[in-house]
Structure 1
Amino acid sequence: MVFKNTASLNRRNLLRAGAAAGVSSLAMPEVSWAQSEKTVKIGNIDPRTGTYAALGGNQIRGATMAVDEINKKGGILGRPVQLLVEDSQGLPGPAVSKAQKLVNQDKVNFLMGSVSSAVSGSLSQFANQHDLVFVDSGGHADAITGKKCTWNTFRTCSTTWMLTAGDFEPLFKKFGKKWFFITPDYAFGHALYTDYVAQLTKAGGTALGNALAPLGTTDFSSYLIQARAAKPDVLICLQAGDDLVNLLKQTVQFGMNTQMTVAGAMQEMEVLEALPPAALLGWWTFEWYWNQPNVPHVADFVKAYKSRYNNKVPTARSWFGYATAHALALAANQAKSLDALKVVRALEGLELPPEVALQPGKCYYRAQDHQMIANMFPGYVPKDASYPNLFDVSQTIPGGDIAKSPEEAGCKMAYPS
């Protein structure tokens, strides 16, 4: 989504531009912007094509909804907010090229987005080179807020450690000690595997093998043959997006779901929606779930999202985009500035209000490493699963109970002088 010469757009022009772009209206009828108001620009880099397109699409939808709400309430510093969306294709190279365009041509004030951890790492480095605030919406690898943390990068989604710790105990106690892994061969998969194995080894279990599959794999037969030969108690599937859809379909075709427990660290509504009924199975961790009875504001959010997006319930990815855009606005308004360091200081320790957190307890960006501390929702896919009731949450685990400390994660923050 690109806007030209936006410094003096009036409210009518802003509305016309937003409608033409089809991503986000820039103002709501309740607010009247002065002609001289310069827009605050958020660059949103997410996959709209490729393996993670469905995940990126919902992050964009959540962010778009948030931006409209922000503008309805007066924008950022009394100025209209503009969401500029670019397609990362789920790959670091295109993502950085799009970031360069957003910074050099579009003059964005903030960057957000990403699904792939490899993309998130590259965008974090890029943002650091340009002294720009970047909030990683959905790339999970531990290092982003761990050993490779930077003063200007924050993360809304959880770490891979939190994902694996979310369901490790029930998997180990219920289903057995011998596990085999099928792992996407890049940063996200490697981090998940390392984290699970650390917990498995400590508990006295055994990793029987680890089959590394390239991102975008469509035929998992050779990896499933390896897994069957190992005879594990648990088959751990660490893929995401379309890759996990293909893997679970083929796992059922091979009949392996009758021979071992199928499980993994992260499951998402986008994947479950894309599966045939026979492949709806397994034990997983969700990072946010639409059905949270008695949690304030969740039902209202779900209703508004469904009304806006063709009766679809919001997903964890929707919440990532929604919470991230709101957090940037809250921090800038609190800082009364768009200066990167001032916004960073406001983000550090920022607690999301209940109508944005949309889950129990306290959700906040930890000051020491900029990691969001929220909840994990481990559970399983029920036998009678049908949309939108595709997952049963067995418990809600506060992220602070399982997250590594900043020191354990290896974050050593350095700020500009």
Structure 2
Amino acid sequence: MKYRSVVIATSMALAVALATVSSSSAQNVIKIGDINSYKAMSANLGPYRKGVDLAVEEINAAGGLLGKTLEIVARDDGANPGDAVRMADDLRLNAKVDILTGTILSHVGLAVADYARQHKVFFLASAPLTDKIVWDSGNRYTFRLRPSTYSHAAALVPHAAALKRKRWAFVYPNYEYGQSAVATFKSLLKAAQPDVEFVIDLAPPLGKIDSASVVQALADAKPDAVFNVLFGADLAKFVRDGETRDLFSGIEVVSLLTGEPEYLDPLKDEAPKNWYVTGYPWYLIKTPEHMEFLTAYQKRYNDYPRISSLVGYTTIKALAAGIDKAKSTNSEELAKVFEGLTFLSPSGKVTFRALDHQATLGLYVGRTALQNGKGVMTSYDYLDGAKLQPADDIVRKMRPAHTQ
């Protein structure tokens, strides 16, 4: 009996000691729960995670935040809104994360934003482009870093109007991102060029394009210009079939995202020529803040950054700035300080607008070309994200009143 009592007492003491160590360890760590389509969009999420890890390493090497180290706890959302919500629940209840971040697909980002609203947990949406996440479905706890579909369209419309092409065709993935990008582009282009005609809309399912049929339908419609919103494998198939059938000869193409290395580089010498695009010409950007990021990234990974690397890095820098200002990881406190928060990114100063929680991170716009057997942007204009937004009174009409 004495032996058993000693064993029980020892076991209890050990359990208490382990719990104390565990509690002490938890108190010294700020956990950030990242939800993303790591498997479905690995070409984007591999570089994204490199950018995230680089920022975390820099912050921890400098002493961390609030006397604590940062730790990333990642979950794969399976490119599915339902899975994303389950992962958010797991991160909040089991992993005990302080903050949620991430997502790249618009419909997934919207699902996590709604979860943040319901559970009053702070969520920094890194990369979903849908306008709804900060407007129609906006909420107190959700902020978004990357420029929206509206911003992307607004950046390209002045160049599209300057082309003076009358007959426009549209190619886009048939889900929230593609639909909203095209709707905005049409609206803004019509305002800039009232005589424009929209001759055909082609909206294949995401990841399931029949590119030969799409190219043939475009050829039959005889447009003067094409607005393309395809990306990834869909874009590659469209470009290859379009080149094979000589679709692009004599047609201007204005294209979202195509200048990003994730989508341009895999095409190699098949990359589109002379398209007007949004992208990320990391090899041309010589500002001090970008050169600092580029040097650190290349030293750490012996590789060049993609736009996803920039987004991942900037996401963590934004969270660090917010936590430092709030002196807390409490969701209510973060929601307060992020409204109007300004911080320095590799693209320059960025502010989260109090009006709609949209960051003013800008866009790089230019033409594509082939150089040394690969697609590049030959020059660029950097457009401030603050100047790519609709008027404040328009935003107020779209944003839920209780979040303003």
TM-score scaled to structure 1, two decimals?
A: 0.85
Q: Give the SS at the match of 2:343.
A: coil
Change (3 A) 1:400 1:159: same
Match of 2:399 in 1: 411
Are positions 1:158 and 2:144 aligned together? no
Are positions 1:359 and 2:351 aligned together? no
Q: Verify the 8 A CA contact 2:284 2:379 in the aligned structure 1.
A: no
Structure 1 residue aligned with 2:273, among 278, 281, 292?
Answer: 281
Are positions 1:344 and 2:335 aligned together? yes
Match of 1:373 in 2: 360
Match of 2:47 in 1: 58
Q: Give the SS at the match of 2:116.
A: helix
Structure 1 residue aligned with 2:378, among 392, 405, 408?
Answer: 392
Q: Give the SS at the match of 1:363.
A: strand
Q: Give the SS at the match of 1:383.
A: strand
Q: Which amino acid aligns with 2:158?
A: E
The Cα shift of 1:154 comes to 0.5
Partners of 2:219 and 2:20 lie apart in 1 by 61
| Structure 2 stretches lacking a partner, 5+ long | 1-17
TM-score scaled to structure 2, two decimals?
A: 0.88
Change (3 A) 1:7 1:174: farther
Q: Give the SS at the match of 1:115.
A: coil
Match of 1:26 in 2: none
Structure 1 residues 8-32: Cα deviation after superposition (integer angstroms, max 9, x where no partner): 469xxxxxxxxxxxxxxxxxxxxxx
Are positions 1:67 and 2:56 aligned together? yes
The Cα shift of 1:282 comes to 4.5
Q: Verify the 8 A CA contact 1:60 1:321 in the aligned structure 2.
A: yes
Match of 1:300 in 2: 292
Q: Verify the 8 A CA contact 1:142 1:161 in the aligned structure 2.
A: yes
Q: Which amino acid aligns with 1:350?
A: L
Structure 1 residue aligned with 2:35, among 41, 45, 59?
Answer: 45
Q: Verify the 8 A CA contact 1:39 1:80 in the aligned structure 2.
A: yes
Q: Which amino acid aligns with 2:31?
A: K
Match of 1:13 in 2: none
The Cα shift of 1:248 comes to 1.7
Judge which range, 280-289 or 244-253, deviates more.
280-289
Which structure shows the bigger proportion of residues in helix conformation?
2
Identical residues among aligned pairs (%):
25
Structure 1 residues 170-206: Cα deviation after superposition (integer angstroms, max 9, x where no partner): 1232261211011111000001010111022222211
Partners of 2:250 and 2:19 lie apart in 1 by 60
Partners of 2:290 and 2:363 lie apart in 1 by 16
Q: Detail structure 1 runs of 4+ shifted over 6 Å in the superposition.
A: none
Q: Which amino acid aligns with 1:342?
A: E
Change (3 A) 1:284 1:89: farther
Structure 1 residues 222-277: Cα deviation after superposition (integer angstroms, max 9, x where no partner): 22211111111112221122222222222212221224223212221100111131
- Superposition CA RMSD, Å: 2.3
Q: Verify the 8 A CA contact 2:34 2:100 in the aligned structure 1.
A: yes
Partners of 2:378 and 2:20 lie apart in 1 by 48
Q: Which amino acid aligns with 2:71?
A: Q
Match of 1:80 in 2: 69
Structure 1 residue aligned with 2:264, among 257, 272, 286?
Answer: 272
The Cα shift of 1:374 comes to 2.4
Q: Which has the larger radius of gyration?
A: 2
Q: Give the SS at the match of 2:288.
A: coil
Within 5 Å, give how 1:193-232 maps onto structure 2.
193-202=182-191, 203-204=193-194, 205-232=196-223
Q: Give the SS at the match of 1:213.
A: coil
The Cα shift of 1:319 comes to 1.3
| Structure 1 stretches lacking a partner, 5+ long | 11-33
Match of 1:314 in 2: 305
Match of 1:107 in 2: 96
Q: Verify the 8 A CA contact 2:261 2:279 in the aligned structure 1.
A: no
Q: Which amino acid aligns with 2:141?
A: N
Q: Verify the 8 A CA contact 2:160 2:189 in the aligned structure 1.
A: no
Within 5 Å, give how 1:135-154 maps onto structure 2.
135-154=124-143
Q: Which amino acid aligns with 2:347?
A: Q
Change (3 A) 1:318 1:395: same
